[in-house]
Chain A
Amino acid sequence: MISQVFILSSQGDHLIYKDFRGEAGSDVVSVFYEKVTALTGDQPPVVMSHGDLHFVHVRQGGLYWVATTTSPGSSPFTIIEFLNRFSALVKDYCGSLSEKSVQMNFALIYELLDEVVDYGYIQTTSSDVLKNFIQTEAVSSKPFSLFDLSNVGFFGAETQQSKVAPSSAASRPIQSSREQGGRSEIFLDVIERMSVVIGSKGVVLKADVEGEVRVKCFMPSCSEMRIGLNEEFSIGKSQLRGYGAAVRVDECRFHQNVHLDEFHSNRVLRLCPSQGEQTVMQYQLSDDLPSAPPFRLFPTIERDSGGRYSPRVHAAINVCATIPVPKGSVSLSQELSSPDQSAELKLQNRAIDWKIPRFIGGTQLSALFKLEVSGLSPSSLMEVGPVVLVFELPQLTVSGLQIRFLRLSPVQPAPSQRWIRYVTHSDSYILRL
């Protein structure tokens, strides 16, 4: 049971404070902030105590979401899951999660909290139930964007871009669809996170993929949705059917509202999505990736250093390679292969950040970094590496999972738009040198 819930900005400003049980005063908010900022790096901050009161908090969107409880027997899983779910609800209702959006929509958030928790007991977090109770309209802050202007073609002509949903299309309040009427949209995202360790000889030491299929629904009412996955999709090691291109995952979990009666025969998921965002399916895959890892590195380290990358996929965007360097590094000189890349030496992190805004598939990029290191010793080379890559691969899933179709039934009367997006992120992509 939860005693209080409050939201703090990263500077410690009080954004939301609600006391459910009257067991402690509002002064604990400042106590919490003092405690959390005084922690040293290795102390786990998730649970902290102040007298009889226990603070449990999560960080989402740069904010502290804190719940306090007086009973040490409370389940940490439940409280943390609740705080995450609550922040997801706020994100659904306000469109995005930031200090500004929380500040602007505080009335809405109080209303949400009132319905979600009563007397410290979680009542419901389902957006289907909540939509009947929430009356306040969200205030969304629209930053001025050139993209809106570019949609207006010369002489009112349709431009190419209007056929593509802007990337920000999914970050808007779910309830605004009510007045906009026609904009009933569904986004189906397949998001995979890779954590890979590649050894110095190019051997893949570890490769994990955590994937999820997320639905974000802006339709006021949607009776049923059918999602078709690849037919050759299989779960577990024993189920491999046929040869070759099977899409295999180790473990797979579904949202409790998903009907799986057609899953075993046709790999079709049926569900009635509620408004807002929900994770329909989660899966994970360890070690046996169907394709080679997307990036490889061919480093040559001498007393002068250099390296090449070669990706094997379509294209990657926002690639950033972080290369740890020896402690005494003083300055960096670089030779990069194209002008839009950049590299800089971050002395504080003891690393070079090499930023590549666009990386075209199948190509190799090379860079030569020369470091001036004071007090270089032979063992300084131990400090070089491992290289960490951060990237985003749009339109690609490492596991090979594809959505065959997305059907709504009965067919919606209003024109509805369905978007399917794939993206692979690097959770932790480590290349040892």
Chain B
Amino acid sequence: MPYLGSEDAVRELRRALSNPNVQSDQLRYRNTVLKAIRAMSQGVDVSDLFSEMVKACATVDIVQKKLVYVFLCSYATLNPELSLLVINTLRKDCQDPNPMVRSLALRNMTNLRLPSLVEYVEQPLAAGLRDRAACVRRVAVLGWAKLHNLQPDAEIDAAVVNELYGLLRDPDPVVMVNCLRALEEILKKEGGVAINKPITHHLLNRLKESDVWGQCEVLRILQRYHPQSEDELFDILSLLDASLVSPHPPVMAATLGLFLGLCSGLPAVSLAALERVRGPLLAACGSTSRETRFTALCHIQLLLRSLPGLMGAHYKRFFCGYAEPAYIKQRKMQVLVELVNDENVAMLLDELKGYCTDVNPETAQAAISAIGRIGRSYSDRCLEILTGLLGLKQEHITSAVVQTMCDLVWVCPQCSDTVCSALEGCEEMLQDSQGRQALLWLLAAYGERVSSAPYTLEGFIDRVRSEASLGVKMELLTTTMRLFLCRPSETQDMLGRLLHYCIEEEMDMCVRDQALLYYRLLHCGIEETHKVLHGQRSDPSLGVLIGRPAEPINQWAYSFNTLEPLRQAGVETEPASRGSPEHVTFDPKPNTDLSDTLNCSQIEKVNLAGSDGASGFTCSSAKVLAPLSLSLSPALSPEEFEHLWMQRHAEQGAEKLEEEEEDYVCLEERIQFPAIPPCSPQSLQAAMQLVNIQTLAFTPPHTLPWRVYLYTHTHHAHYGSTLVIGELLYIGEASRRVAAVKKGMEDGDVVEGEQEAGLSGRALVRKDGREEEVEVTLKQQPRDDNALKGFLSILTTVLHTLSSESS
């Protein structure tokens, strides 16, 4: 910020600095130097004073010396020749009896950053390594790193490197840590300082001597070490246990990082470590420094990905404080959504409801969308709150509520009635394009149930000329088309007007093209139009994904304790572009745990094949699981079930192959489901019903073998519907090592099937039988492989969800 008259000021300063009267008066001299530095830090260019400052450097006043060095280091690169003059003074100071002066001189000598001076610096630096005073050695050690970075191509002096390795045994802990840092930089090309067993143990034993910063550095560098045996590993871990619960967040985080690195092959140990850091992390969340709070929150979100139950009992610690900034409140809400369960849902929703009327619109909107996410599991309570909020008649709240409802209805179709009745009268309150887009999408999906839908649309179409948002126009076209299909008499006229406007007057190509497309589509006849436009209204199978299976720690361990988690917009936030959920791309995460039962690419292939010929109109998310829907009707009584099951069983047992029975298939699968013993029948039943699978009979929990019988009907757009009956069987510890996929297909190629079973039976005997597995036997009539696989993937997801919740 150069201010007026800066040149005058510099001239004035120079005159003062070269004035012999000033120079003889210590205090005046120092104050003049001070003025120059002040001007410098305010952004005035005082580089002209360099030669005067070099003179001012030769003084006995340490304060003045320090000030001059600040100046010299900033401007040395602009005046390499004059800097040579300083070197003499500096080298003389390196001989000074006062260690403080020696370290000061040495530090600034290396801070000048002039490659031309390197030859003068090396000798004092080498002497500095052997200095009596620790503070000089600290500076000298880092000096070598600075020197190396000045000439990165120069050859590395082996003697210096050896000396630095030797100084790792220095009695001063800061010298030791500085040696690590310097070697890390000097040997960067070779992969940093060599971390072998003796060095590791030496560093670990001296860890306690260092301060917080030193400990963090050591712990970070030790991440490269690979223990040679499991015993050694556990020795190291027990040494570090105290640091894991350190009151200093940096040490705690660095230790956990090291733990996760060392235990990457031992998930159980890593999980135990995560449990250990819960206390310190929660404490960091309540720190006085809001930046520390934020950092801790971001890292808690990481941890929750692997251990969803970690903070369950402490949900109250994530209630937002009144004065907290919006970005912390939003993170807390994201965490709260993850922590919701049957016991705390009432409290949590009460708290979130309070945030919805926050003065800050961003906080209010985040709270509303958090309620929407909880609504996927507890729809009634949440819908009540959401519809209540519409009564406030505030623009930003109404918009957020409509967007949230739109997302909610997509995964929970059972909410649609409430949503439809709530939509009346919202449109006047919606001002922003995202809210209006969401409203239009809802009208398109449920237009036949909202009596005022045509009037709302008419309003939109009347104002279409002044509509600025492209998204709204596109959505409006689709909505009018879809409403026309179910309520033709009321909408025919306005559809005509809209198409006319869009084709004749609209300037935007996208809108025009889409209007033309629809227009030509209508020419093909109503049947064709229906086929193309009849989209999916909801996708309940996405709903169960909210309780995602726990991720393995390795997926995020690399980003732990880095800047990464703080920069991300959040682990599981809604995509920024709203509008219709169909356009929200959702990619099912490839889960390594699933791989030995089913892999996702397989599902996708199956479903893509299944949707062949069906509308290619809805995009990826809808495509993946769209063609398959489950329903409970017609209901199957227990007697009928038993009859069907036993009949099939008997036939299978007799291995009676009948060519006519091609419409029947039996499939056995194993699904990892570690939560069988604690899983209660109620929660299983509830979870199954959410996706329209009826459970008929259970064995009581904690008995072996544990069985569940279930059934459902699959409906497919083109291949008709099938009945699936199934049994989940868990035999217990003894037989869990045998994992075989057996496919008994009674349609001719049974020989091949048998071979396959034999092969996979051998191949899949797993060595680490940690995960418990449940055996699934499914029978389907008539046969439809695609539907069966789709069903199996839904079932797998439900079971995983359950197991992640109960763990």
Contact = CB atoms under 8 A, between A and B. Distances in A.
Contact of A388 (B250, B322, B347): B322
A126 B211 CA distance: 9
Contact of A107 (B37, B139, B347): B37
Interface in B315-364: 316-317, 319-324, 326-327, 330-331, 347, 350-351, 354, 357, 359-360, 362-363
Contact of B254 (A75, A107, A193, A284): A75
Nearest to B358: A324
Given A106-B41, A124-B174, A428 B322 contact: yes
User: For the side of the interface on B, what is the size category?
Assistant: 35 or more
Contacts of B599: none
Contacts of A138: none
Contact of B359 (A76, A82, A126, A350): A350
Nearest to A19: B74
B486 interface: no
B182 to A, nearest CB: 9
A383 B357 contact: yes
Contacts of A271: none
Interface stretch (A37-45, A143-151, A163-171, A303-311): A37-45
B386 to A, nearest CB: 13
Nearest to B77: A22
A81 B211 CA distance: 13
B679 to A, nearest CB: 29
A251 B563 contact: no
Contacts of A282: 247, 283
Interface stretch (A113-121, A180-188, A225-233): A113-121
A261 interface: no
Contacts of B66: 107, 110-111, 114, 135-136
Nearest to B41: A106
Chain A, interface SS category: mixed
Given A80-B289, A135-B62, A428 B323 contact: yes
Contact of A125 (B211, B247, B319): B211
A382 B391 contact: yes
B291 A287 contact: no
B357 A324 contact: yes
A13 interface: yes
B253 interface: yes
B37 A106 contact: yes
Contacts of A121: 142, 178, 181, 213, 217
- Quick one: which of A47, A69, A74, A77 has the most chain B CB within 10 A? A77
A59 B327 CA distance: 14
B562 A76 contact: yes
Contacts of A193: 288
Contacts of B138: 118, 123
A17 to B, nearest CB: 6
Interface in A50-89: 54, 56-59, 69, 72-78, 80-84
B100 interface: yes
Interface string A275-314: 0000000101011000000000000000000000000000
Given A81-B250, A122-B213, A382-B388, A197 B319 contact: yes
A267 interface: no
Interface in B384-418: 388-389, 391-394
B146 A76 contact: no
A8 B100 CA distance: 30
A370 interface: no
A377 B425 CA distance: 15
Contacts of A383: 357, 392
A263 interface: no
Contact of A72 (B252, B354, B391, B562): B562
A118 B211 contact: no
A15 interface: yes
A54 B354 contact: no
Contacts of B322: 322, 388, 428-430
Interface string B143-175: 001100100000000000000000000000010
B325 to A, nearest CB: 8
A14 B181 contact: no
Contact of B391 (A76, A206, A379): A379
B321 A428 contact: yes
Contacts of A195: 319, 321
B70 interface: yes
Contacts of B566: 44, 46-47, 76
Contacts of B393: 377, 379
A408 B534 CA distance: 83
Given A75-B220, A324-B359, A124 B316 contact: no
A123 B216 CA distance: 12
A1 B146 CA distance: 13
Interface of B: 1, 34, 37-38, 41-43, 62-63, 66-67, 70, 74, 100, 107, 113, 135, 138-139, 142, 145-146, 149, 174, 178, 181, 211-213, 216-217, 220, 247-250, 252-254, 257, 279, 283-284, 286, 288-292, 294-295, 314, 316-317, 319-324, 326-327, 330-331, 347, 350-351, 354, 357, 359-360, 362-363, 366, 388-389, 391-394, 561-567
Q: Which 4 A-B pairs have the closest CB atoms?
A: A428-B321, A379-B391, A253-B247, A42-B362
Given A1-B181, A282-B283, 12 more contacts: A21-B149, A46-B294, A58-B291, A75-B561, A78-B250, A80-B295, A81-B250, A121-B142, A122-B213, A324-B359, A379-B391, A428-B322
Interface of A: 1, 13-17, 19, 21-22, 40-47, 49, 54, 56-59, 69, 72-78, 80-84, 106-107, 110-111, 114, 118-119, 121-126, 132-133, 135-136, 193, 195, 197, 199, 205-206, 208, 210, 251, 253-256, 282, 284, 286-287, 322, 324, 327, 349-351, 377-380, 382-383, 386, 388, 427-430, 432
